[in-house]
Amino acid sequence: MVFLVIDDKEYLEHAPGNWPEGPHRLEAIWTALTQTGVREALVFDSPRPATPEDLALVHTKAHIEGVRRISEQGGGYLTLDTVITPRSYEIALLAAGGTMKAVDAVIDGEACRAAALVRPPGHHATASEGMGFCLFNNVAVAAAHALSRRKLEKVLIVDWDLHHGNGTESLFYASRRVLFFSCHESPAYPGTGWITDVGEGEGEGYTINVPMPSGSGDLDYHDAFKRVLLPAATAYRPDMILVSCGLDAHHLDPLGHLELSSAGYGVLTELLCSLADTVSGGRLVFVLEGGYDPIGLGWGMASVLNVASGRGGPLDEPNPYTHPRSETHRSALARDRLSSVIATQEAYWPL
């Protein structure tokens, strides 16, 4: 079983400076994969750059040209929270292209599953603007590529980043060819992802938001996946599953207030691997999004890839924080919100 990882040192060259989203994030993942021995179970390959035509599958020409122009003029701020450097446009093309390459490898049977360890991240980027450290929406470009060019019929995007994937949601909000599931902290940046946001037009019912309150942990997320995602996705039967794999819901992360553990991410991965084997012929691709604590990001990704590659089970970081894995720790507010999600989504899915 070949597990392919798209990765490249060129991703380090998008360097915004003293910023939460920086090259140190990939270095933390590389360190953890080596320390845990997970690296030995992976096959690595380099990305190919996306073209402007690839990006135009989901982005406006004005947005693509705007990022290119700022980058070629020496860089600057795209928004107050999103920095462009002289090489950012080129590296962002590699991020989108690397994600597309991972998807193609799985579709073509060159790998059973894959991961794209790319940056800058992408899930906040809408058709016409970047934000939240994101320039182009890597997972959305890859999903649109799979649907329009590789002739897949349906794609499931699972976003477990701390922050709601507002860009991805907006790009497929009116489409039934993408089922978008997001489990995220709320309230939190960017202030979107409400339970009642379920899609529109022919896409009504194909957006599922599970807004988690502060303090939610492993068991709360596992419940959401088991009670909402798995039955909905089993009924939907996508041809491929893409994961916006942010690791900032980790209890160590400085930008959030959730309590997931590295091992908890591994359990979520086990659920997704089993789902993929059941409904999508095993086609499953993980795409790096957020995650800003070196230990949480590195060991969280090591846990995900240890499970997804078939090497072993969930892993936990050194000196793990045990509270979120306690059998008695469940957030009462998270239970209430999950009940509201189920009540809303029962109109569309057999939950």
> Which residues are catalytically annotated?
124
- The identity of residue 297, as a single letter, is L
Question: Which residues neighbour 288 within 8 Å (Cβ) at sequence distance 6 or greater?
Answer: 29, 115, 116, 117, 118, 119, 121, 245, 246, 301
302-307-308 Cα angle (round to 5): 95
Task: Decide: 277 and 233 in contact? Cβ < 8 Å.
Answer: no
- The identity of residue 142, as a single letter, is A
Could you tell me the two tokens for 187? 């309230």
**Range list of H helices, the chain:** 24-36, 52-55, 61-72, 88-107, 138-148, 166-172, 218-224, 230-236, 262-279, 294-308, 332-345
- The identity of residue 26, as a single letter, is L
Per DSSP bridges, beta strands 82-84 and 76-79 are: antiparallel
What does DSSP assign to residue 119?
A: S
Write the DSSP string, 129-165.
--BTTBSS-HHHHHHHHHHHTS--S-EEEEE-SSS--
For residue 191, what are the CA distances in angstroms to 114, 163, 177, 182, 318?
Answer: 31, 9, 25, 13, 33
Task: Decide: 109 and 15 in contact? Cβ < 8 Å.
Answer: no
Write the DSSP string, 23-68.
THHHHHHHHHHHHHTGGGG-EEE---PPPHHHHTTTS-HHHHHHHH
